[in-house]
């Protein structure tokens, strides 16, 4: 299978090439030329299979230039008992008669990014072998918190790769920061940037597009790649858990094969929900996608009005991994929704670049509305949802998951839809323990985030995620910081290019 640019400005490439390049060098994102389909028979055959088996099967559909043996190797290297604390890899919890929470945070760093980032580095290493590149790969990551640590863990000590992570100073939780700055590995760097996530992301994107810088790197035998969710290697692993959870629900007698489900996804860059959409296009029976946002509800407004308008105040919320005004992966979705109309995509994204907004027109909007509903949760609603779920179900959810649950509750209130619904749980509650403890307890007795971890454990009895235990005792290994305008210099410094 070949991968094409959403903007029609690049020749079709293999999966390995798309993964190696990260994004299209001339702008745009790589997407599969044609989405493979899964018949009902094939779907039925998944029932009872292990996560690893399902993973191999889904990956084989998209990564046709990887051999079955290679896929088996990468899957086993990623989804094993050392990296994931449960045999199911992504288990679900039944919340009530018609909704299920899909726990995507059993990997090493307590956030759903592990689902993709434990696998993606192995795909990248194989990709480099395939295109026979003798350059060292430099991974640049802009993170609003969770991607950073997940990428560091996924890439650390992987041969032939260096990873540099930029995060907004003060824009991630203390625990997230501590997770990142204590990362071991000889090939890892972490930099705090004075600015918000969008500033970080656009500076990193700018570096990717900088021809002169690229040449400088090449002179030193380096080449950039990206581990952000714009890389196809990040997206494809996320398709797996939608099939795997569906198969588990069928195996457990909760669902009949062929029966539709709804999927509610707390959304930021639109990657996770896009993976669900690809699963649907492959044949997963889905009725509605609930795109859940926090107060940065640019996607909710977009789905309601057909206008994507990023000209608004950036808000810092208690669900910071969704504090995003430019949802990069939406571009891939719009490419599908316009039947691969690259000229349209180019036009809209030119508009976005020049004016901060674009409008998709009624026809495309109607089509999207048939499948997607946008709902959002305010800060207060998020807090109340955490408390409500804890008190009524004795189940602790993090702030992002609470946004997904609240959005689903709002959807139910609007549409009264009895379809079984899977709600993605994207982080372990301990990853955002201050907000969670405050929600459950009413107020905080301390500001010390590490003390808060213990208090939350004492109160709820839920064991602290292994990736967050004893964090404060770990040695800080990274103390770099810079302005957004200095990101490029920082990269040069780290790579020894000056
Ligand atoms: C990254 C992240 C999200 C948003 O996922 P996207 O794929 O960017 O939409 C939601 N919740 C958590 C905890 C995350 O880390």
Ligand 1 pocket member 172 (CB < 6 A): no
Q: What is the mean pLDDT of residues 209-216?
A: 91
What is the rounded CA–CA span in Å between residue 449 and residue 433?
7
For residue 432, the ligand 1 atom closest to its alpha carbon is: 13
Q: Which of 10-19, 123-132, 345-354, 358-367 has the lowest mean pLDDT?
A: 123-132
Ligand 1 pocket member 229 (CB < 6 A): yes
113 carries an active-site annotation: yes
- Residues 6 or more apart whose CB falls under 8 angstroms from that of 348 comprise 308, 334, 358, 360
Q: List b or e across 459-471, with b for residues whose CB sees 16 or more CB atoms inside 10 angstroms.
A: ebebebbebbeeb
User: For atom 4 of ligand 1, which residue has the closest CA?
Assistant: 268
The upper half-sphere exposure of residue 390, i.e. CA atoms within 13 Å in the direction of its Cβ, equals 25
Residue 420 CA: distances (Å) to CA of 254, 261, 264, 274, 367: 9, 5, 11, 20, 23
What is the rounded CA–CA span in Å between residue 112 and residue 105?
5
**Tens digit of pLDDT for each residue in 470-494?**
888 999 999 999 999 999 999 999 9
Question: Which two tokens mark 84?
Answer: 């994931």
Predicted confidence at residue 274, as pLDDT, reads 98
Give the closest residue to 312 by CA, choosing from 357, 273, 275, 282.
357
**Tens digit of pLDDT for each residue in 274-321?**
999 999 999 999 999 999 999 999 999 999 999 999 999 999 899 988
Residue 357 pLDDT grade (very low, low, confident, very high; cuts 50, 70, 90):
very high
What is the rounded CA–CA span in Å between residue 243 and residue 284?
7
Ligand 1 pocket check: which of 321, 402, 468 to mutate, most ligand atoms within 8 Å of Cβ? 321
Fold entry, domain 92-111+233-463? Rossmann fold (3.40.50)
- Residues 6 or more apart whose CB falls under 8 angstroms from that of 129 comprise none
The mean pLDDT value of the chain amounts to: 95
Give the closest residue to 484 by CA, choosing from 226, 197, 211, 225.
197
Predicted confidence at residue 55, as pLDDT, reads 98
Question: Which two tokens mark 48?
Answer: 């009872």
User: For atom 1 of ligand 1, which residue has the closest CA?
Assistant: 321
What is the rounded CA–CA span in Å between residue 163 and residue 421?
37
What is the rounded CA–CA span in Å between residue 28 and residue 48?
39
What is the rounded CA–CA span in Å between residue 260 and residue 96?
17
**Tens digit of pLDDT for each residue in 16-42?**
999 988 889 889 999 999 999 999 999
Ligand 1 pocket member 269 (CB < 6 A): yes
Domain ranges of the chain: 92-111+233-463
For helices 399-415 and 433-441, angle between their N-to-C axes, nearest 10 degrees: 60
Please tell me whether residue 174 adopts helix, strand or coil conformation: helix
């Amino acid at each position: 299978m070949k991968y094409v640019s959403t903007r029609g400005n690049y020749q079709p490439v293999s999966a390995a090439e798309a993964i190696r390049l990260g994004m299209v060098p001339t702008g745009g994102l790589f997407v599969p030329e044609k989405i493979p389909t899964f018949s009902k028979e094939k779907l039925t055959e998944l029932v009872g299979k292990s996560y690893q088996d399902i993973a191999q099967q889904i990956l084989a559909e998209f990564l046709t230039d990887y051999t079955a043996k290679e896929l088996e190797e990468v899957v086993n290297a990623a989804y094993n008992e050392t990296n994931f604390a449960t045999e199911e890899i992504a288990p679900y919890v039944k919340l009530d008669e018609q909704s299920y929470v899909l726990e995507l945070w059993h990997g090493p760093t307590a956030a759903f990014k592990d689902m993709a980032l434990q696998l993606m580095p192995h795909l990248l290493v194989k990709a480099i072998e395939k295109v026979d590149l003798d350059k060292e790969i430099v991974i640049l990551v802009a993170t609003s918190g969770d991607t950073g640590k997940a990428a560091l863990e996924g890439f650390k000590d992987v041969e032939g790769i260096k990873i540099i992570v930029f995060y907004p100073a003060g824009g991630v939780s203390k625990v997230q920061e501590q997770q990142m700055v204590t990362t071991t590995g000889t090939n890892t760097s972490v930099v705090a940037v004075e600015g918000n996530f969008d500033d970080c992301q656009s500076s990193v994107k700018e570096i990717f597009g900088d021809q002169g810088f690229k040449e400088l790197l090449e002179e030193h035998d380096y080449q950039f790649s990206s581990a952000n969710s714009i890389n196809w290697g990040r997206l494809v692993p996320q398709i797996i858990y939608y099939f795997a959870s569906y198969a588990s629900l069928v195996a457990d007698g909760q669902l009949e094969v062929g029966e539709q489900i709804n999927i509610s996804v707390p959304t930021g860059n639109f990657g996770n929900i896009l993976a669900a959409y690809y699963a649907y296009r492959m044949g997963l029976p889905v009725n509605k996608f609930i795109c859940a946002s926090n107060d940065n509800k640019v996607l909710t407004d977009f789905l309601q009005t057909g206008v994507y308008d990023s000209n608004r105040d950036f808000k810092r919320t208690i669900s910071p991994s969704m504090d995003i005004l430019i949802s990069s992966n939406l571009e891939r979705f719009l490419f599908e929704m316009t039947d691969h109309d690259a000229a349209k995509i180019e036009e809209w994204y030119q508009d976005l670049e020049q004016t901060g907004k674009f409008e998709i027109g009624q026809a495309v909007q109607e089509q999207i509305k048939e499948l997607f509903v946008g709902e959002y949760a305010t800060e207060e609603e998020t807090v109340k949802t955490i408390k409500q779920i804890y008190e009524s179900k004795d189940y602790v959810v993090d702030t992002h998951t609470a946004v997904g649950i609240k959005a689903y509750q709002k959807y139910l209130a609007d549409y009264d839809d009895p379809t079984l619904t899977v709600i993605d749980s994207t982080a372990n509650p301990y990853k955002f323990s201050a907000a969670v403890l405050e929600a459950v307890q009413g107020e905080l007795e301390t500001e010390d985030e590490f003390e808060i971890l213990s208090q939350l454990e004492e109160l709820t009895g839920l064991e602290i995620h292994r990736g967050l235990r004893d964090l404060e005792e770990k040695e800080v290994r990274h103390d770099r910081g810079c302005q957004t305008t200095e990101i490029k210099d920082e990269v040069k410094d780290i790579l020894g290019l000056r």
